[in-house]
């Protein structure tokens, strides 16, 4: 569910920002200065921040991942080899499944046993198409095995029961008992690991239209019956707020926080002034570019304020914030199936991704999981498919460039940058984050959100004796540059060797509308 960027609060914030920055209109040529504090390392950038979300929605599962017995598309046990290989390469740590809104109407027993005997249901949330239940629990864990990812299942609170959810967990994790025997008869003797469980999804909306007090009680009740076998843990994540609903966070934390490991937050960037999404994914103008990136930046304010509410009840930050749905939401691609949320993915989405991943670095003490929506063919996807064909999106390339961030240590970076402005939308031109990986190597990401001006950045390296830097740049001539099946490499990372380090200062000129990731040596 969505909140428009142009809420009164956001307008006030933008106005205040504009007043505080008199040089908004003329930023050309003003350099960016920054300090990277390698001497005061921050928290870990949890690998689970790169979680992917795969819902039974459109071609997110069927066609995009699962082709079953279709021999015309190379697959292993039903999952297409090309998509799985791309995801393995990305080092996807966790896959959230089966929804989304789908989760609160999903009954796990309908997705086990012989595929031909599984009931065919209607996907009431997404297009009213038939749901064959061909991908169920065993297939999901097979996908995780192939990708090398861990499980994050959203359980059904909406129209399910606490018993149903508890028995699903037992079926998955238990080494013994009737449910374990049934699992073995269905082809998997060994229990699987279930490190993460969502107690419903969007309980304020498609998950049951609950008030926060009722949702808190339901979360406590369902959570009570989630039991992990000896020596294992299932982390419980409550259904969290829609965008700026701080009352929701306050109520859940107050009434159920002691029972939780994580609390979710959903925030989509929806340019165009409100719901339903009407801005096209490509073929947009600079106004829309700026509006989208300003919308993405709102994540910073949302996390800051939700974190502050959580701090009231959990100052030690034991409960993590799981931003388990984020990304852009545009008008669906012309000609695509209504309800399938299929959208192209352009350089603009790449900048949304880098902006958001940088924001998570600033909040890595509280945000320890996030899931972009969604992994394949839906919303801000990593890959798009059509029949046998597959293409990697600009967002995929950003996730690839940020791979070293997984479980690395955040190095704080202060950035003083000119402002980029278009119409009523203003923002700092340059975004960035930095990490030190487990092997000791330092990586710096810098994005230039200004689509017109290059930006020269000098970064003082405090506590770091690096002497050279090289990496990759992602950019293109057009704001809406994107990859198609006919031109799959229109937007792809290129080597970047134009950065230098002299006397402890990193110097780099960022092209307009670019993402640069550097390895420092
Ligand atoms: O990602 C699409 C939908 O957006 C999800 O099903 C729901 O949780 C959210 O409203």
Domain termination site, one of 381, 406, 431? 406
Residue identifier of the C-alpha nearest atom 2 of ligand 1: 100
Residues 252 and 176 in one domain: yes
The answer to whether the CB of 377 falls within 8 A of the CB of 393 is: no
Query: Residue 235's domain is classified under what CATH number?
Result: 3.20.20.80
Residue identifier of the C-alpha nearest atom 5 of ligand 1: 100
Nearest-atom number in ligand 1 for the CA of 374 is: 1
> How many whole angstroms from 378 Cα to the centroid of ligand 1?
10
> How many whole angstroms from 70 Cα to the centroid of ligand 1?
29
Nearest-atom number in ligand 1 for the CA of 268 is: 4
Q: What separation in angstroms does the CA of 135 have from each of 41, 151, 284, 325, 421?
A: 43, 15, 37, 21, 46
Question: What is the Cα–Cα distance from 419 to 27, expressed in whole angstroms?
Answer: 6
Query: Residue 469's domain is classified under what CATH number?
Result: 2.60.40.1180
89 is catalytic: no
What pLDDT sits at residue 20? 30
Catalytic position from the list 164, 202, 218, 291: 202
Q: Which among 206, 209, 339, 343 is the best mutation to test ligand 1's pocket, defined by most ligand atoms within 8 Å of the CB?
A: 206
What pLDDT sits at residue 419? 96
Residue identifier of the C-alpha nearest atom 6 of ligand 1: 100
Residues 153 and 53 in one domain: yes
What pLDDT sits at residue 21? 31
Q: What separation in angstroms does the CA of 19 have from each of 9, 13, 24, 40, 390?
A: 16, 10, 9, 33, 47
Segments of the chain scoring below 50 in pLDDT:
1-27
How many CA atoms are closer than 13 Å to the CA of 223, on its beta-carbon side?
26
> How many whole angstroms from 381 Cα to the centroid of ligand 1?
14
Domain termination site, one of 360, 391, 406? 406
pTM of the model: 0.94
pLDDT digits (tens, 9 = 90+) for 145-180: 999 999 999 999 999 999 999 999 999 999 999 999
Nearest-atom number in ligand 1 for the CA of 325 is: 1
The answer to whether the CB of 186 falls within 8 A of the CB of 172 is: no
> How many whole angstroms from 444 Cα to the centroid of ligand 1?
32
Residues 432 and 400 in one domain: no
**Sequence-distant (≥ 6) Cβ neighbours of residue 143 within 8 angstroms:** 54, 65, 79, 84, 95, 135, 149
Question: What is the Cα–Cα distance from 256 to 160, expressed in whole angstroms?
Answer: 20
> How many whole angstroms from 173 Cα to the centroid of ligand 1?
27
Q: Domain count of the chain? A: 2
How many CA atoms are closer than 13 Å to the CA of 402, on its beta-carbon side?
34
Nearest-atom number in ligand 1 for the CA of 103 is: 6
What pLDDT sits at residue 28? 53
What pLDDT sits at residue 13? 28
Domain termination site, one of 352, 378, 406? 406
pLDDT digits (tens, 9 = 90+) for 92-136: 999 999 999 999 999 999 999 999 999 999 999 999 999 999 999
> How many whole angstroms from 21 Cα to the centroid of ligand 1?
36
Structure tokens at 398: 């950003």
> How many whole angstroms from 182 Cα to the centroid of ligand 1?
32
110 is catalytic: no
Residues 25 and 67 in one domain: no
Nearest-atom number in ligand 1 for the CA of 341 is: 2
Q: Which among 103, 125, 202 is the best mutation to test ligand 1's pocket, defined by most ligand atoms within 8 Å of the CB?
A: 202
Residues 30 and 71 in one domain: no
> How many whole angstroms from 100 Cα to the centroid of ligand 1?
5
Residue identifier of the C-alpha nearest atom 3 of ligand 1: 100
Nearest-atom number in ligand 1 for the CA of 53 is: 1
Residues 397 and 438 in one domain: no
Residue identifier of the C-alpha nearest atom 10 of ligand 1: 1
Residues 234 and 119 in one domain: yes
Residues 297 and 327 in one domain: yes
Q: Which among 98, 240, 266 is the best mutation to test ligand 1's pocket, defined by most ligand atoms within 8 Å of the CB?
A: 266
What pLDDT sits at residue 4? 32
Q: What are phi and psi of 105, to 5 degrees?
A: -125, 10
Give the number of other CB atoms < 10 A from CB of residue 122: 11
Residues 168 and 295 in one domain: yes
Residues 378 and 429 in one domain: no
Range of the domain at 377: 47-406
Residue identifier of the C-alpha nearest atom 8 of ligand 1: 100
The answer to whether the CB of 327 falls within 8 A of the CB of 383 is: no
Residues 311 and 459 in one domain: no
Token look-up 């059904």 returns 156
What residues does ligand 1 touch, defined as CB less than 6 Å away?
1, 55, 99-101, 201-202, 325, 373-374, 379
Residues 344 and 439 in one domain: no
């Amino acid at each position: 569910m969505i909140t428009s960027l142009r809420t009164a609060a956001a307008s006030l914030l933008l106005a205040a920002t504009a007043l505080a920055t008199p040089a908004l209109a003329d930023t050309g040529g003003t350099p960016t200065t920054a300090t990277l504090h390698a001497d005061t390392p921050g928290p870990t950038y949890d690998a689970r921040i790169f979680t992917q979300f795969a819902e039974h929605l459109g071609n997110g599962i069927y066609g995009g991942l699962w082709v079953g017995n279709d021999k015309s598309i190379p697959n292993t046990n039903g999952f297409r080899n090309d998509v799985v290989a791309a995801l393995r390469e990305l080092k996807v740590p966790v896959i959230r499944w089966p929804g989304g809104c789908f989760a609160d109407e999903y009954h796990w027993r309908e997705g086990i046993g012989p595929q031909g005997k599984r009931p065919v249901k209607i996907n009431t949330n997404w297009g009213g198409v038939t749901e064959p239940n061909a991908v169920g629990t065993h297939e999901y864990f097979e996908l995780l095995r192939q990708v090398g990812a861990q499980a994050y299942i959203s359980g059904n609170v909406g129209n399910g029961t606490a018993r149903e959810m508890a028995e699903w967990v037992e079926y998955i994790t238990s080494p013994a008992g009737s449910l374990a025997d049934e699992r073995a008869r269905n082809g998997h003797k060994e229990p699987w690991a279930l490190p993460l469980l969502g107690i419903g999804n969007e309980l304020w909306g498609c998950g049951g239209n609950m008030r926060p007090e009722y949702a808190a009680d339901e979360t406590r009740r369902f959570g009570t019956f989630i039991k992990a076998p000896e020596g294992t843990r299932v982390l419980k994540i409550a259904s969290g707020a829609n965008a700026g609903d701080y009352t929701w966070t306050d109520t859940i934390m107050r009434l159920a926080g002691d029972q939780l490991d994580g609390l979710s937050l959903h925030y989509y960037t929806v340019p165009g002034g409100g719901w339903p999404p009407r801005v096209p994914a490509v073929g947009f103008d600079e106004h829309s570019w700026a509006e989208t990136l300003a919308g993405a930046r709102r994540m910073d304010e949302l996390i800051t304020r939700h974190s502050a509410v959580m701090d009231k009840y959990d100052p030690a930050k034991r409960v993590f914030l799981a931003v388990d749905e984020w990304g852009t939401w545009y008008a669906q691609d012309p000609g695509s199936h209504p309800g399938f949320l299929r959208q192209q993915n352009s350089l603009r989405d790449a900048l949304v991704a880098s902006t958001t991943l940088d924001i998570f670095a600033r909040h890595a003490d509280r945000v320890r999981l996030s899931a972009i929506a969604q992994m394949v063919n839906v919303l801000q996807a990593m890959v798009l498919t059509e029949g046998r064909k597959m293409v990697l999106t600009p967002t995929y390339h950003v996730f690839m460039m940020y791979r070293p961030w997984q479980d690395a240590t955040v190095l704080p970076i202060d950035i003083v940058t000119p402002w980029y402005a278009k119409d009523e939308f203003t923002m700092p031109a340059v975004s960035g984050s930095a990490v030190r990986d487990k092997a000791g190597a330092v990586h710096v990401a810098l994005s230039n959100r200004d689509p017109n001006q290059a930006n020269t950045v000098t970064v003082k390296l405090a506590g770091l004796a690096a002497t050279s830097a090289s990496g990759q740049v992602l950019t293109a001539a057009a704001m809406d540059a994107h990859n198609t099946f006919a031109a799959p490499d229109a937007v792809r990372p290129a080597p970047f060797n134009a950065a230098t380090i002299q006397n402890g200062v990193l110097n780099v000129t960022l092209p307009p509308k670019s993402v640069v990731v550097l390895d420092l040596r």
